[in-house]
Amino acid sequence: MRGDRIPNLSLPKLSREDDELREALNFVFQYRPPRDLPPFLFLEQSFRAENIRGNDLELMALCQRTVGPGNFGVKPHPRNGENLPQSLGLTRKLDLSVPWELFLLNQRESIPTVVTVCSNGALSGRLCLGLDLPTVMLYKLYTGKVLWKEDPVLLRYLETFRRQFAGERTYVPQTPFELESVLKYLGGQYGD
């Protein structure tokens, strides 16, 4: 992938059965299981903290309209400061401030479908834990000036992940209509 002909190798996966590791991480992050997460969870990224203008809020709004306000929430990025999606009515306040990977290490049931532009959290569930969770990556619909659009190595990284490492339940919609269709399919309302 880097152009040096050295093959990519998978890292050893973290075991969800490693109670000692999980307990240590839970202690460090003061983990408590979240209550009442919506079926669709948008992992926000630090675009606003980095002064990157884009259409992430519009993508959140489209997702919320498609699946319904009660079925959609946004996990705010800690560097963004103000929870703008909540202020705009795109999400209620969610009880989930720990890293997404720690949530996945602890949670066995009722894991929301992840929607994100291209959050590493969405990738690490697959890469670090080996989980094939419903994941919708919106990087092809994002309009902001970001590195993966300007750096062919980063774009290749995303595409290589999609082709080689993503599970069967990872979706990369090309159009807003395709995004709506994927969300309806994942929400069990396909054809409505």
Q: Taking the domains of the chain in order of start, what are their residue ranges?
A: 19-186
Which one is predicted more confidently, 133 or 127? 133
Q: What is the pLDDT of residue 148?
A: 65
Q: What angle separates helix 176-186 from helix 56-67, to the nearest 10 degrees? A: 40
At 61-120, the pLDDT tens digits run 999 999 999 999 999 888 888 888 999 999 998 988 898 999 999 998 889 999 999 888
- Integer CA distances (angstroms), 156 to 110, 143, 164, 177, in order: 32, 18, 11, 25
- Integer CA distances (angstroms), 44 to 24, 61, 190, in order: 26, 13, 26
Do residues 54 and 144 lie in contact, with contact meaning Cβ atoms separated by under 8 Å? yes
Provide the token pair at 6. 């050295």
Please provide the CATH number assigned to the domain covering 19-186.
Answer: 3.40.50
At 146-186, the pLDDT tens digits run 666 667 777 777 777 777 766 788 899 999 999 999 999 99
In this prediction, residue 2 has a pLDDT band, given cuts at 50, 70 and 90, of: low
Do residues 170 and 133 lie in contact, with contact meaning Cβ atoms separated by under 8 Å? no
Do residues 63 and 115 lie in contact, with contact meaning Cβ atoms separated by under 8 Å? yes
Query: Residues with Cβ < 8 Å from 89, sequence gap 6 or more?
Result: 69
Q: Where are the alpha helices (DSSP H) in 30-175?
A: 56-67, 84-87, 100-106, 120-127, 147-150, 152-160
- Integer CA distances (angstroms), 187 to 85, 152, 163, 181, in order: 21, 34, 24, 10
At 36-70, the pLDDT tens digits run 899 999 999 888 888 888 899 999 999 999 999 99
Do residues 145 and 117 lie in contact, with contact meaning Cβ atoms separated by under 8 Å? no
The DSSP letter of residue 95 is S
Which amino acid makes up residue 192? D
